């Protein structure tokens, strides 16, 4: 049966194919012929085809993560086999989110939190993964989504503004990653931005209560993700 790794192999990941070969998942009749046919089909897709809808654009944004990194100026850890595996996991996780069906879940019992507050954490200097093309593609995708929602009069109050803020966040990530690639020292403001990017993302995924209360509950934060690859 096909696996998520087959998808990554079709999209150009040599590491995904290596894993499939080691685990014996390439021993099916005509496997390599079919793989080559699909790789050629996807390699011939134009940018316009990759941008035909949000699903395709999401995949398009992930493609740079599967490319072999040949930039010798990048830190050595980014050029290691472990980093290639990490990026493969990132793509698989993102694709799973894209494809996911949520399992049935129930409200869990809980214990009241204590009143004591932990000490304020001290700022640590973070690092943005140096993939400006990924951030640029995501930013363009979100900008077009926002414009389409507005043009079709589907932009519920507050949604367009959240999307625009996400665009700005992606643009900052792109600028920071470009500076890292070119060995340019980041400003204190940029380090502060990296430090706070997690809480910013949490804020951006919060939508108006009249929407959320219809489709989510408190258990959504613990929701498992599965993807139906083949039936």
Residue with tokens 């690859």: 229
Give the model confidence (pLDDT) of 84-133 as tens digits: 999 999 999 998 888 764 333 334 334 344 444 556 677 889 999 999 99
Q: What residues does each domain of the chain span?
A: 1-44, 45-105+122-227
Report yes or no: 16 and 88 within 8 Å, Cβ to Cβ.
Answer: yes
- Please work out, in degrees rounded to the nearest 5, the angle formed at the alpha carbon of residue 149 by the alpha carbons of 146 and 153: 140
Q: What pLDDT does 220 receive?
A: 60
Low-confidence spans in the chain with pLDDT less than 70:
70, 100-120, 208, 210-231
C-alpha–C-alpha distance, residues 149 and 147, integer Å: 5
- Alpha helices by DSSP H, 157-207: 159-181, 188-204
Q: What pLDDT does 205 receive?
A: 82
- Please work out, in degrees rounded to the nearest 5, the angle formed at the alpha carbon of residue 193 by the alpha carbons of 189 and 198: 165
Please report how the helices 159-181 and 188-204 are oriented relative to each other, as an axis angle in degrees rounded to 10: 150
Q: What pLDDT does 207 receive?
A: 73
Backbone angles phi and psi of 120, in degrees to 5: -65, 125
């Amino acid at each position: 049966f096909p696996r998520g790794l087959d998808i990554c192999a079709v999209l150009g990941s040599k590491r995904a194919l290596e894993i499939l070969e080691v685990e014996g998942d390439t021993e099916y009749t005509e496997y390599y012929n079919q793989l080559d046919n699909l790789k050629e089909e996807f390699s011939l897709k134009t940018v316009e085809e990759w941008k035909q809808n949000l699903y395709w654009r999401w995949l398009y944004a992930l493609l740079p993560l599967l490319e072999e990194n040949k930039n010798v100026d990048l830190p050595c850890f980014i050029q290691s086999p472990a980093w290639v595996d990490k990026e493969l996991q990132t793509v698989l996780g993102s694709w799973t989110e894209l494809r996911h069906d949520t399992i049935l879940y129930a409200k869990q019992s809980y214990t009241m939190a204590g009143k004591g507050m932990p000490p304020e954490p001290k700022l640590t200097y973070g690092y943005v993964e140096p993939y400006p093309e990924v951030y640029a593609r995501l930013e363009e995708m979100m900008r077009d989504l926002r414009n389409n929602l507005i043009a079709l009069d589907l932009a519920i109050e507050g949604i367009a503004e959240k999307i625009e803020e996400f665009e700005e966040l992606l643009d900052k990530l792109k600028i920071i990653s470009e500076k890292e690639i070119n060995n340019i020292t980041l400003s204190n403001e940029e380090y502060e931005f990296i430090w706070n990017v997690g809480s910013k993302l949490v804020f951006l995924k919060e939508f108006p209560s009249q929407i959320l209360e219809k489709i989510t509950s408190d258990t959504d934060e613990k929701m498992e993700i599965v993807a139906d690859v083949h039936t």
